[in-house]
Amino acid sequence: MAWALVMIVVAAAIVAWAIILPGGDKRAGSTSTSTSTTASAATTTSTLATQARGALTYSAQLTGENEIPALSTSASGAFTLTMAPDGSSVRYVLSVTTITNVTVARLHEGKAGATGATLLTVYGGPTKSGAFSGTLTQGSFSAVKLEGPLKGKTIADFVALIEAGAVYLNVGTSAHPKGEIRGQLE
């Protein structure tokens, strides 16, 4: 009981700190998959602090098991999207681990277990020859860059698809051009 009370107080302090301090627009870059209570509380607090400042952040953990059909691969990745508070643009970061000969990374419309149309290419080459671990790509985009069913639509339309569980990212390689690793945005 005391542990839970301490975690609540720490979470509240972090949220207050993030809102009150000037320049509090810095966001945690952690993509840890730890299941510890402390890591969960910190992640939840970080998300709450980000939302409190008016921005939304979504992420996906990429694995071969999420591909259609599932693949056995040692490659993995993490993808994070952060919406600008005014809804005009989206920042993203894609990091990968032990993936070989990367050719492309795309956001697609589709729920878990289904495939769908391309919404945006976040990495279009050149092929990263050999094994690669690190930040594959990062940047930002506005609504004019959206493709397929979102062409001519807004960032709000893009967010609505994510909220509906209907956006995934996959990374293609020379061996698996349609995707070696995939993750659903949440």
Instruction: Give residue 61's pLDDT.
Output: 98
User: Average pLDDT of the chain?
Assistant: 79
- Same domain, yes or no, for 60 and 44? no
Per residue in 38-87, pLDDT (tens digit) is 333 333 333 333 443 567 999 999 999 999 999 999 999 999 999 999 99
Whole-number pLDDT of residue 54: 61
pLDDT at 1 over 70: no
Q: What are the backbone dihedrals phi and psi of residue 54, each rounded to the nearest 5 degrees, phi first?
A: 95, 0
49 and 70 co-located in one domain: no
Locate tokens 């000969």: which residue? 101
18: domain range?
1-25+34-53
Confidence band of 174 (pLDDT split at 50, 70, 90): very high
Give the CATH number, domain containing residue 109.
2.60.40
Q: Could you give the C-alpha distances from 140 to 37, 110, 123, in angstroms and in order?
A: 32, 22, 12
Does the pLDDT at position 37 exceed 70?
A: no
